[in-house]
Structure 1
Amino acid sequence: MTAVTRKKSALALAAALLALTAPLTLSGQASAASVSSWDKVAQCESGGDWSIVSRGSIPYYGGLQFDQSTWLAYGGSQYAQYANRATKQQQILIAEKVLAKQGPGAWPNCHGPLVGDHADPYPATTSYPDPASLAGGTLVKSPNGPSVKVMIGGAGVAVAGSDVAPDGYDLGRIVLVDDAAFNSLPTVPPAGTVVHDMGGGAARYVVVAGAALPISGADWTSGGYNSRPDMGVPTAWLQNAAASGLPTGLVVMDQSGADASRYVMVNGSALPISGSEWTANGYDQRMLMGVPGDWLRAAAARPLPNGTVVMDQNGTDPSRYVIAGGAALPISGTEWTANGYANANLMGVPGRWLAGTVAKQLANGTVVKNVSGADPSVYVMAGGMAVALSGADYTGLGYDKRPLVGVPGAWEASAAAKAAPGDGTLLLSPDSSTVWQVVGGGSKKALTASDFGPGKLDLNDVVSVPTALTAKLPTTNR
């Protein structure tokens, strides 16, 4: 086998460019000396990349840069067709055969570490501890790979290079474990594990379905989290877990029991499940996860994102709806496919929650447009009515500064066809400083400053609308 000449300066530069936030890797620290030597040869040959393919007049494969004929001649095909597709250990085992037959000169430019090294890279008597028996916080790695993990509740959580110094990990105390056991370790601590940032900080979290949910001060004791082991985890892992949401369909409850309700997670929101739906919809057959009460209340108050497509979980209501501004708007049969709703993830939601959300009006001041684009007009919602805005209105009334919410065309046409906003709606048009209140099913009544204030009407509820709307509403003094 002929090795390709390597430029050490280029290798050094490549090593220097490794991202600090990548999982921590260690080279040349296996317990068997010959594995350490092979690591050094690989560093010289390929920069330590065991999956590399070096292209040239003749391609070379893997960390030790086998040419294809040598790999096959020495039995490499029992592991993989090409060396770069085999594991590090498998590549070393084939290299051992080459070394026995050809000597160190088979790697003419990188053979130095092999001279005088006669140790068995994988002695049959080597015995490794079961990682499950190791104490929480123990650093582990496989003798055949570079990654380092920390044991947390029987899981192996990846340690990033950027975590080593600030998190105080001692790389001199790494425990080698069997390769297969290392690779089969769960990567996420068990649900219910209480964790904190190993790098410091007072915040505490509980692991639920792979996400790290914050525990408030009140929940710390009321939820019983203070009685559980408090495990330090790598900073980078915790940041990612804290940014993760719970999966859709997961059923949750307040860990403290202060709220006896049950909820189902849908796109980051916690939707309440009624007593009858608990069994009728099969929620009682799913795993029920306790979560911090304050976190749950925030998730229950969070509206589903605009564009979420939903249906009644038990199928009692066969209609399909799209969420817009916290309301569930019906999707007609033609719009289901024509507007692309059929391609969205369809979320089953509790029927009682859905019925309440269908009954909601879009909030006053919400700016909407037909999602299909068939109607180019833009509308502002006022008391359940979609009020058309001209181009001048859209910018002059400041609606160009608000989010534009896409809605089904049939629903929009129905809302635009209404004769007047609902009773109680407060309107203001640019032709006058008078605030009007819709009364009597379509008339308007002028309001004065005395109508507003604590315990009275709120100016924040006033909707700016085109003059054409207020002009067509008859005035009443009642």
Structure 2
Amino acid sequence: MSSTARKKSVLLATATALLALAAPLATSTTASAASVATWDKVAQCESTNNWSINTGNGYYGGLQILKSTWDAYGGKQYAAYPHQATKQQQILTAEKILAGQGAGAWGSCGSAAGLAYDHADPYPSGPTYPSPSSLADGTLVKSPNGPAVKVMIKGAGVPVAGSDVTPDHYDLGKIVLIEDSAFNALPSAPPAGTVVHDQAGGPSRYVIIAGAALHIGAGDWTANGYNTLPDMGVPTAWLQAAAAKAPANGTVVMDQSGGPARYVMVNGTAVSISGAEWTANGYNQRPEMGVPTSWLAAAAAKQLVNGTVVKKADDPTVYVMAGGKAVTLTWSDFTGLGYDKRPLEVIPGTWLGTAVAKTAPADGTMLLAQADATVWQVNAGKKRAMTADEFGPGKLSFDDVVSVPAALITGLPTA
């Protein structure tokens, strides 16, 4: 739309909106419908067919509709702003504007597209679907193009498994259809801080942090203030999977009940951040997530997963975790043991220094050196050679053996 035409359009769209509401069809002699193909031409001119555009110029969506016009012609039933609605919803609202104001509302773009001369119904048989944002928590939704069902929880579409339907008391007769693209775009987890429970029942409560469901201990429920938040029922299968997760690596957490200590999550372990590292390593630039007191205590006490490859921010030295000890890797170890194929986690140096200083891996840790067929198990700081019959179904697993530099094993006395 040209700047001159746009100014005329603005005046028309705002000045006639209230009149159009009073009697948009009884007094109108303008075009009242246009095909999707014609609307696509208008959108190509207005926004290069970008139906989600918001450039800050006061016009929104593929057809560049003013917010005041959108509201006046019922667009709010779909979304707060045009660019937040689907293409179909924008066109359906534009049809009402066309009926009330005529093709001139789109100026030269409307003229070039032949908007005034196309009287086709853009969606002669297609249904209109509500925006997910307008649906209440607990509403079951699905796309018209697939069998999957989700339940709306604080703007997210949490997947509902077939096994959830009966125990969770979901009524499949009350499913609301939403547009396919909107269905697929729904976040799969409620936002951080949402308190949830199993829809099928039970006393356990969880808080959602970065897609993981963290268990809230009985002592945390009131002390951490979770009892003051809405408690949302979620599908059983989804909750079980989310409860088995930990917040993503790099997530900064703190005790929900308060206190100065801060931690960063690394493979399920809460690694403490010293005061000096808080700013020096940029942790102060990340969002802080409050987590249940008891969950944090357990996560901070966890031994970092064997085989995790780590380094601190200001040092190129790389280490591998083995039974809580950080073992230095030379370049040949790093590549020869295959650790160059794993993610390298940057962790606080103070915590790492303590892990490096440990004299030996924890009891029970199983170690294997490159080019050595013997698996060694640590016990009280010493090593013992293991036999093949200690491994197998119902016994120990070779998957739990940590590959380490030969120097670490050589340095341990033999039991």
TM-score by length of 1: 0.64
Partners of 2:368 and 2:94 in 1: CA distance: 71
Q: Deviations over 1:344-387 (max 9, x none)?
A: 000000000000000101111111111x2x22111011000000
Determine the structure 2 residue equivalent to 1:313: 256
Task: Pick closer, same or farther for the CA change 1:232–1:383 going to 2, 3 Å.
Answer: same
Task: Pick closer, same or farther for the CA change 1:4–1:209 going to 2, 3 Å.
Answer: closer
- Asked if the contact 1:325/1:405 (under 8 Å) is kept, the reply is no
Instruction: Choose from 343, 349, 354 the match for 1:414.
Output: 354
Task: Pick closer, same or farther for the CA change 1:145–1:270 going to 2, 3 Å.
Answer: farther
Task: Pick closer, same or farther for the CA change 1:131–1:269 going to 2, 3 Å.
Answer: closer
SS in 1 for 2:165: helix
Q: Percent identity?
A: 45
Task: Pick closer, same or farther for the CA change 1:35–1:291 going to 2, 3 Å.
Answer: farther
Determine the structure 1 residue equivalent to 2:389: 450
Kindly provide the amino acid, as one letter, of the partner of residue 261 in structure 1: S
SS in 1 for 2:272: strand
Kindly provide the amino acid, as one letter, of the partner of residue 248 in structure 1: A
How many residue pairs were aligned?
Answer: 343
Determine the structure 1 residue equivalent to 2:143: 197
Question: Following superposition of structure 1 onto structure 2, how do residues 289-368 of structure 1 map, counting pairs within 5 Å?
Answer: 289-315=232-258, 317-368=259-310
Matched, 1:426 2:341: no
Determine the structure 2 residue equivalent to 1:163: none
Task: Pick closer, same or farther for the CA change 1:454–1:37 going to 2, 3 Å.
Answer: closer
Task: Pick closer, same or farther for the CA change 1:428–1:202 going to 2, 3 Å.
Answer: same
Determine the structure 2 residue equivalent to 1:172: 124
Determine the structure 1 residue equivalent to 2:31: 36
Instruction: Choose from 312, 316, 335 the match for 1:376.
Output: 316
- Asked if the contact 2:305/2:321 (under 8 Å) is kept, the reply is yes
Matched, 1:206 2:151: yes
Instruction: Choose from 248, 251, 255 the match for 2:192.
Output: 248
Partners of 1:264 and 1:3 in 2: CA distance: 51
Task: Pick closer, same or farther for the CA change 1:36–1:314 going to 2, 3 Å.
Answer: same
**Superposed displacement of residue 204, structure 1:** 1.6
Determine the structure 2 residue equivalent to 1:141: 93
Determine the structure 2 residue equivalent to 1:66: none
Task: Pick closer, same or farther for the CA change 1:142–1:394 going to 2, 3 Å.
Answer: same
Matched, 1:472 2:414: no
SS in 2 for 1:172: coil
* Bigger Cα displacement from structure 2, 222-231 vs 429-438: 222-231
- Asked if the contact 2:199/2:235 (under 8 Å) is kept, the reply is yes
Determine the structure 1 residue equivalent to 2:325: 385
Task: Pick closer, same or farther for the CA change 1:88–1:34 going to 2, 3 Å.
Answer: farther
Instruction: Choose from 170, 184, 187 the match for 2:133.
Output: 187
Task: Pick closer, same or farther for the CA change 1:309–1:240 going to 2, 3 Å.
Answer: same
Determine the structure 2 residue equivalent to 1:73: none
Partners of 1:283 and 1:324 in 2: CA distance: 25
Determine the structure 2 residue equivalent to 1:75: none
Task: Pick closer, same or farther for the CA change 1:433–1:228 going to 2, 3 Å.
Answer: same
Instruction: Choose from 130, 147, 164 the match for 1:219.
Output: 164
Ranges in structure 2 where 5+ consecutive residues have no aligned partner: 6-23, 48-57, 79-87, 99-120
Determine the structure 1 residue equivalent to 2:378: 438
Q: Deviations over 1:331-354 (max 9, x none)?
A: 000000000001100000000000
**Superposed displacement of residue 228, structure 1:** 5.3
- Asked if the contact 1:223/1:292 (under 8 Å) is kept, the reply is yes
Task: Pick closer, same or farther for the CA change 1:175–1:292 going to 2, 3 Å.
Answer: closer
Considering only aligned residues, what root-mean-square deviation do their CA atoms show, in Å? Answer: 3.8
| Larger of the two Rg values belongs to structure | 1
Question: Following superposition of structure 1 onto structure 2, how do residues 13-92 of structure 1 map, counting pairs within 5 Å?
Answer: 31=25, 33-36=28-31, 47=42, 87=66
TM-score by length of 2: 0.73
**Superposed displacement of residue 34, structure 1:** 3.9
- Asked if the contact 2:34/2:122 (under 8 Å) is kept, the reply is no
Determine the structure 2 residue equivalent to 1:151: none
Task: Pick closer, same or farther for the CA change 1:232–1:465 going to 2, 3 Å.
Answer: same
- Asked if the contact 2:264/2:270 (under 8 Å) is kept, the reply is yes
* Bigger Cα displacement from structure 2, 231-240 vs 382-391: 231-240
Matched, 1:285 2:237: no
Task: Pick closer, same or farther for the CA change 1:88–1:227 going to 2, 3 Å.
Answer: closer
Instruction: Choose from 391, 401, 406 the match for 2:341.
Output: 401
Task: Pick closer, same or farther for the CA change 1:228–1:209 going to 2, 3 Å.
Answer: farther
**Superposed displacement of residue 276, structure 1:** 2.1
Q: Deviations over 1:236-268 (max 9, x none)?
A: 110001x443100111111110x3211111111
SS in 2 for 1:348: strand
Determine the structure 1 residue equivalent to 2:109: none
Determine the structure 2 residue equivalent to 1:232: 177
Task: Pick closer, same or farther for the CA change 1:33–1:318 going to 2, 3 Å.
Answer: same
- Asked if the contact 1:367/1:403 (under 8 Å) is kept, the reply is yes
Task: Pick closer, same or farther for the CA change 1:356–1:228 going to 2, 3 Å.
Answer: farther
Ranges in structure 1 where 5+ consecutive residues have no aligned partner: 6-29, 53-78, 91-121, 133-137, 147-168, 177-181
Kindly provide the amino acid, as one letter, of the partner of residue 295 in structure 2: W
**Superposed displacement of residue 131, structure 1:** 6.7
**Superposed displacement of residue 202, structure 1:** 2.5
Task: Pick closer, same or farther for the CA change 1:141–1:407 going to 2, 3 Å.
Answer: same
- Asked if the contact 2:132/2:182 (under 8 Å) is kept, the reply is no
Partners of 1:297 and 1:432 in 2: CA distance: 40
- Asked if the contact 1:280/1:314 (under 8 Å) is kept, the reply is yes
Kindly provide the amino acid, as one letter, of the partner of residue 395 in structure 1: T
